[in-house]
Amino acid sequence: MVSKKIRVLIAKPGLDGHDRGVITVAQGLRDAGMEVIYLGLRLTPEQIAEAAIQEDVDVIGLSCLSGGHLALFSKTIDSFRKKSHRKVIFIGGGIIPKKDIPALKASGIAETFGPGTPINKIASFIKAELEKGSDDNED
């Protein structure tokens, strides 16, 4: 079994500029052995989807603290799925009211990680999800 590094793209769609969370998560996932591409701020959903396809990632992490997460995350997922059938895990973070989580999950976000989340929880989740995925895709 080839142990390939998990590739993660982290980005902030929309105009929100709070990047402490994404930068800390990016660093933490790198320390956990993953390859992380931090795309930055002020990106459109289309730009993020395009980059994720180009970079051939396993995970796409989206962050929004301004309250625009419902529209921005779902647009990003839709934009990605329009152009790629690759199985990718979408995760989200930022300021996300609990009542919005079901809608986010319905649109394709596998899990949200809000304030107070320890980094290793995110890393463990990603690893577990990818294990599940590879079990489903029996080689």
Residues 44-63 that bind another protein (CB under 8 A): 44
Task: Provide, rounded to whole angstroms, the least separation between the CB of residue 3 and another protein.
Answer: 25
Say if residues 32 and 66 touch (Cβ distance below 8 Å).
no
- Give the residue with the Cβ less far from another protein, 42 or 132: 42
Q: Which helix (H) or strand (E) holds 55?
A: helix 45-55
Task: Provide, rounded to whole angstroms, the least separation between the CB of residue 107 and another protein.
Answer: 14
DSSP state of 100: G
Residues 77-116 that bind another protein (CB under 8 A): 95, 97-98, 114-116
- Which of 32, 101, 119, 130 forms a contact with another protein (CB under 8 A)? 119
User: How many residues bind to another protein according to rule CB under 8 A?
Assistant: 31
β partners of residue 13: 43
Rounded Cα distance between 40 and 26, Å, is 11
DSSP state of 17: -
- Give the residue with the Cβ less far from another protein, 12 or 89: 12
Give residue 3's region: left, alpha or beta (phi > 0; psi -120 to 50).
Answer: beta
Positions in the binding site for another protein (CB under 8 A): 14-20, 23-24, 26-28, 38, 40-42, 44, 66-68, 71-72, 95, 97-98, 114-116, 118-120
